[in-house]
Amino acid sequence: MSFNWSLYGLQIHANQLIHGLAHSSSPSVPDLQICLGFLPKWLNKTADQAARPWYASANQADAGVPNLRIWSLAGGHFYWLRYADGTEFILNSMGTKIWSRWHESVSQEEVISCLLGPVMGFVLLLRGTTCLHASSIAIGGRAIAIAGPSQAGKSTVAAAFAKLGYPVLSEDVVTLDERNGRFLVHPGYARIRLWPDSAEALYGSADVLPRLAPTWDKRYVDLTEDGYQFQKSPLPLAAAYILEERAPDSAVLRIDSLSTKEALLSLIGNTYATNLMDTKMRGREFETLRRVIAGIPIRRVFPPNDYDSLPRLCNMIVEDFENPTESVSPDHDGPTQEAGV
């Protein structure tokens, strides 16, 4: 059997069902072909010995093995991704074909989660598309990006927006696909992944949401269910909001504008697959981000350490996006919007 999907602006042909993706018509020539369950026949001991180390993550598994290692194969024409649990992906350098194989102890749901996130982020990078590590929401026919460091709450804020009825384009990967002077955000997959504490805060109990994989605590919101909206067509990026880490004693919601330098540094710190970039990719990313900040506002959000304030935070972002204020805070030299909780 074969399946056709649309993901991040790419028409995908796969040999297995991938839950959460939008179906598409069968393209004559797909942008990306995905082969799940096997690796190419030419990958043998000779290829293994000729592999050139490309990347090893600083984070390690229990045995001291890096969580992810990448080798360059066949003179740079392929990349071999190997995770500590034994899951493997082979990608060609054009980002047009993926093979994957995994151990019996690893569920297919775990493999798919990895495929749709970091592996696809690398594919887009190989294809020349810079991406933000962010969520994206549709407001009035335009897209905003919600970025921030790990554990800042990007997915939690996206889920809060979804509960308020706003369409969600993507969670985790936000494409910056430059077309005619605009940057398009393409739809990702129709799920928002949440840690149990976020799921409990938003829904009363984490158990009301299905697990992302049988052995994982992480849950997901299905955006195809009644009450939610998944944005199935691309939208132009019109603003980016960078979440700061929650201060334990914070009682004020605040949105600040950023200088050009601050905005550039913030976006550089929130690009996807940043550790996998070579010098050429890094230069391309820098120029793309310069054009992004020249065309849209980049704002910094200081959220309170209070899940109950998430709807208020979402409404405040919408208000700022639609009617940006220019009042100045006493402790900041730029435009600021502030609201007590």
Q: Does residue 266 register a pLDDT over 80?
A: yes
pLDDT at 47: 58
- For the chain, the average pLDDT equals 88
115-120-121 Cα angle (round to 5): 125
Question: Is residue 155 a contact partner of residue 135, using CB atoms and an 8 Å limit?
Answer: yes
Which range (95-99, 217-221, 245-249) has the least confidence? 245-249
Q: Domains along the chain?
A: 3-126 (no CATH), 130-340 (3.90.228)
When pLDDT is averaged across residues 232-239 and rounded to a whole number, the result is 96
Q: Does residue 59 register a pLDDT over 70?
A: yes
Nearest alpha-carbon partner for 243 in 224, 213, 275, 269: 269
pLDDT at 236: 97
Q: Give the DSSP letter of residue 248.
A: T
pLDDT at 336: 47
pLDDT at 29: 85
Dump pLDDT digits (tens) for 275-319. 888 888 889 999 999 999 999 999 999 887 778 889 999 999 999
pLDDT at 339: 45
pLDDT at 248: 61
The share of the chain scoring above pLDDT 70, in percent, equals 91
Measure the CA–CA gap between 39 and 61, rounded to whole angstroms: 24
DSSP 157-185: HHHHHHHTT--EEEEEEEEEEEETTEEEE
pLDDT at 8: 95
Measure the CA–CA gap between 279 and 263, rounded to whole angstroms: 22
Helix (H) or strand (E) segment spanning residue 100: strand 97-101
Dump pLDDT digits (tens) for 34-55. 999 999 988 875 555 567 888 8
